[in-house]
């Protein structure tokens, strides 16, 4: 049972879609399929602007956004509330940009007022980079409020929505998110290996107007615009079977409805936190309002490491969850509830097995408490 924070289990329908015969990427059938997939992504992103699907996993999309937009000397306000936010500094620097950091502890969220103050203090800032959901800490930043502040300063925003597309409300056009980078393997429920990106007109303009626009590179978003958006060609051969999976997963998501899919993730996440508390454990996020919908990070109980719990769940019960990364290593463990894993029976099983794991490891736990509390907390 795969309950990590991505990749996630795929439905039988998605797996079946991947098993279809390979089409050549210039075949009209594949072109139509790719076009349909982009159109569905626009609906899931809720954007009327362009969508491209980079042929690599989410990190390629995040690096491509930095490489395509940021020119040497550009100042970038990099918001850091966790590991992915901190890591973005590397991409900013590699593009020649200067990262100006606004950081909070990794169990907290960025305050939009602090963003306003930082942009006031430094009028030379041109870009802002922000992670919507910091999966390693199970927290969420107020993306809409942050990007609206950025827009009022004419600062262009790059958002990591890898874990939040499909699990948190997102309105890139209305909220001023200029580039939103997602991944196929999280709440969309497709196979790992693709990076869908929503790109607004301000971002295209900046990419084009750069003194030395990035072209002829796997990291180039302009290459995708010139090939796919302008001429319905590909800059290089796409990963045909992964696109099959993404098309199928998006179809299923849209059959459910974007809002319903998000509400389901929110309800399961809330129930998970209720179950965790009933077990006598503490969620990592400092406040309930900033806890993410895609995954719940749980502080390791006194005297036990997160890895001990992860290993025991896997070896004894065949359940894969995630541990802590970086400075959180050992200090927490995480239950992913993304895509098909965001369902009551899956959560009930996960919490019952977690309860038994704590008991096995000699941690005092009230038996028969977690799963029941979680089910009672589900929204009707
Ligand atoms: C998963 C994830 C990524 C991409 O990381 P991979 O695990 O390498 O695909 C980037 N940002 C966030 C917030 C994520 O959750």
- Note whether 114 and 102 are within 8 A (CB): yes
**pLDDT score at 379:** 78
User: For a substitution probing ligand 1, which of 58, 106, 159 has the most ligand atoms within 8 Å of its CB?
Assistant: 58
Count Cβ atoms below 10 Å from residue 230 Cβ, excluding itself: 9
CA distance 155 to 147: 9
- Distance (Å) of CA 163 to CA 36, 73, 119, 127, 139: 23, 30, 26, 22, 11
- Note whether 344 and 378 are within 8 A (CB): yes
- Note whether 166 and 188 are within 8 A (CB): yes
- Kindly tell me if the per-residue pLDDT of 44 is higher than 90: yes
Question: What band does 366 get if pLDDT is binned at 50, 70 and 90?
Answer: confident
Q: Output phi, psi for 158, to 5 deg.
A: -120, 120
- Kindly tell me if the per-residue pLDDT of 364 is higher than 80: yes
Over the stretch 90-113, which tens digit does the pLDDT of each residue have? 999 999 999 999 999 999 999 999
* Closest approach atom of ligand 1 to CA 6: 1
Cα 19 off chain centre by: 26
Nearest protein CA to atom 9 of ligand 1, as residue: 58
| Total residue count of the chain as it appears in this document | 380
Pocket of ligand 1 (CB under 6 A): 6, 57-59, 84, 131, 133, 135, 160, 162-163, 183, 186
Quick one: which of 171, 148, 150 has its CA closest to 161?
Answer: 171
CA distance 284 to 298: 5
**pLDDT score at 368:** 87
- Note whether 189 and 143 are within 8 A (CB): no
Question: Structure tokens of 124?
Answer: 């030379």
24-59 CB burial, b ≥16 within 10 A, e <16: ebeeeebbebbeebbebbeebbbbebbbbbbbbbbb
- Among 76-80, 134-138, 362-366, the minimum mean pLDDT is found in 362-366
Count Cβ atoms below 10 Å from residue 337 Cβ, excluding itself: 29
């Amino acid at each position: 049972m795969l309950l990590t924070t991505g990749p996630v289990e795929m439905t039988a329908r998605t797996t079946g879609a991947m098993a279809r015969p390979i089409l050549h990427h210039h075949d009209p059938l594949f072109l139509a399929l790719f076009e349909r997939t982009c159109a569905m992504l626009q609906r899931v992103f809720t954007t009327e602007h362009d969508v491209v699907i980079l042929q690599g996993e989410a990190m390629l999309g995040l690096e491509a956004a930095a490489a395509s937009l940021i020119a040497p000397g550009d100042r970038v306000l990099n918001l850091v509330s966790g590991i992915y936010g901190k890591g973005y500094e590397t991409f900013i620097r590699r593009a020649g940009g200067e990262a100006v950091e606004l950081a909070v502890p990794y169990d907290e969220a960025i305050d939009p007022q602090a963003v306003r103050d930082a942009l006031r203090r430094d009028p030379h800032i041109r870009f802002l980079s922000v992670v919507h959901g910091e999966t390693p800490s199970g927290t969420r930043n107020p993306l809409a409020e942050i990007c609206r502040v950025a827009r009022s300063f004419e600062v262009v925003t790059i958002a990591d929505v890898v874990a939040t597309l499909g699990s948190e409300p997102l309105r890139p056009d209305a909220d001023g998110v200029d580039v939103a980078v997602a991944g196929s393997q999280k709440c969309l429920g497709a196979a790992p290996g693709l990076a869908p990106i929503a790109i607004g007109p301000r971002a295209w303009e900046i990419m084009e107007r750069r003194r030395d626009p990035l072209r002829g590179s796997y990291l180039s978003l302009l290459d995708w615009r010139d090939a796919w958006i302008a001429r319905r060609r590909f800059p290089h051969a796409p990963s045909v079977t992964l696109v099959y999976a993404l098309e199928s997963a998006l179809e299923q998501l849209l059959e459910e409805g974007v809002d319903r899919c998000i509400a389901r993730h929110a309800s399961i996440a809330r129930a998970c936190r209720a179950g965790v508390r009933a077990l006598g454990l503490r969620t990592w996020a400092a406040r309930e309002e900033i806890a993410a919908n895609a995954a719940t990070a749980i502080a390791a109980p006194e005297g036990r490491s997160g890895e001990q719990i992860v290993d025991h769940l896997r070896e004894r019960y065949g359940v894969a969850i995630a541990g802590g990364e970086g400075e959180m290593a050992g200090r927490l463990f995480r239950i992913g509830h993304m895509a098909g894993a965001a369902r009551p029976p899956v959560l009930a099983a996960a919490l019952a097995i977690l309860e038994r794991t704590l008991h096995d490891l000699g941690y005092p736990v009230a038996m028969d408490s977690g799963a029941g509390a979680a089910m009672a907390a589900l929204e009707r």
